[in-house]
Amino acid sequence: MKATLALALGLLALPAAAQEGPQPVLAEGEAAEVELRADLNADGLADLAYIAAREDSRELRVVTSYIGDVEIGENLPQVLVLDPYPLGDGVLKMQRNVLLLEELTGGTTAVFSTHRFRWDAKLAAMRLIGLDATLYSRTFAHDGKEGSWNLLTGDLITRTLKLSSGPGDRAYAKVGEKRRKKPSRPLRLEDAPSGGDLLGWPGAK
């Protein structure tokens, strides 16, 4: 209790810049597509996740803060290379202690993916714990598929999206569910596959 109170009082005494947390670092020609500030590693300090984009490249960058013996510091950014040509801006969210990255990529055949990252104390880094992806035709020209991978349990669920005669969300019927194990070593944020990779889409980058 005393340690918690001392930490809280210490954080209140921090300079404003330290309380705000890391700032985006952008090279010439880059802009921040989206930013999210949250306590990603649960140490009471603000951390930063942002997508840096330029004409032909995009990266998710995550910078976590830490409390040293005599100062507040920042870890080197973790960087995940993203599809350079998304169908709209990416979305960053926090659900409890999990960072979500949502993206829509592709063309008339598109992949909507959700990456889930969580701080791993053993790795001292953000780790991929889940990946969901849906591949579909935006013009309803062909069947699609979807997959959900839980990296903590190794469970992978896949389904075929069969074209039907319904409108909108009912244009696809989910059939042929398969469940199998896809074990993996702990994957740091920068090593995360794309949604297209998960589904084995030839157009994945």
Q: Token pair of 198, please?
A: 């998960």
174 touches 144 (CB < 8 A): no
Q: What is the pLDDT of residues 133-163, one digit of tens each?
A: 999 999 999 999 999 999 999 999 999 999 9
Q: Which of 138, 148, 143, 142 is nearest to 177 (CA)?
A: 148
Q: Token pair of 29, please?
A: 């020609």
Q: What is the pLDDT of residues 8-57, one digit of tens each?
A: 444 445 554 455 789 999 999 999 999 999 999 999 999 999 999 999 99
Question: Quick one: CA dihedral 39, 78, 188, 88, positive or negative?
Answer: positive
| CA distance to 26, 103, 110, 138, per residue, from 88 (Å) | 20, 8, 12, 14
Q: Which of 15, 72, 63, 3 is nearest to 39 (CA)?
A: 63
Q: Which of 28, 87, 37, 33 is nearest to 60 (CA)?
A: 33
Res 182: pLDDT: 97
Mean pLDDT of the 3-12 span: 44
Chain-centre distance of CA 194, in angstroms? 10
- Does the pLDDT of residue 67 top 50, yes or no? yes
- Does the pLDDT of residue 3 top 70, yes or no? no
Res 19: pLDDT: 58
Res 203: pLDDT: 58
**β 57-63/47-54 pair status:** antiparallel
Q: What is the pLDDT of residues 79-131, one digit of tens each?
A: 999 999 999 999 999 999 999 999 999 999 999 999 999 999 999 999 999 99
Question: Quick one: CA dihedral 30, 34, 37, 40, positive or negative?
Answer: negative
Res 32: pLDDT: 96
Selected residue with higher pLDDT from 171 and 192: 192
Res 71: pLDDT: 78
- Listed by start position, the domains of the chain span 2-199
Q: Token pair of 56, please?
A: 């032909």
Res 166: pLDDT: 72
DSSP-assigned letter for residue 169:
G
Q: Which of 105-119, 158-172, 183-197 has the lowest mean pLDDT?
A: 158-172
103 touches 90 (CB < 8 A): yes
- Our CA dihedral for 176, 180, 186, 191, rounded to 10 degrees, sits at -40
> How far apart (Å, rounded) are the C-alpha atoms in residues 20 and 39?
11
- Split at pLDDT 50, 70, 90, the class of 172 is very high
Res 44: pLDDT: 92
Q: What residues contact residue 61 under an 8 Å CB cut-off, 6+ apart?
A: 24, 25, 48, 49, 50, 51, 52, 77, 78, 79
- Does the pLDDT of residue 2 top 50, yes or no? no
Res 7: pLDDT: 42
108 touches 138 (CB < 8 A): yes
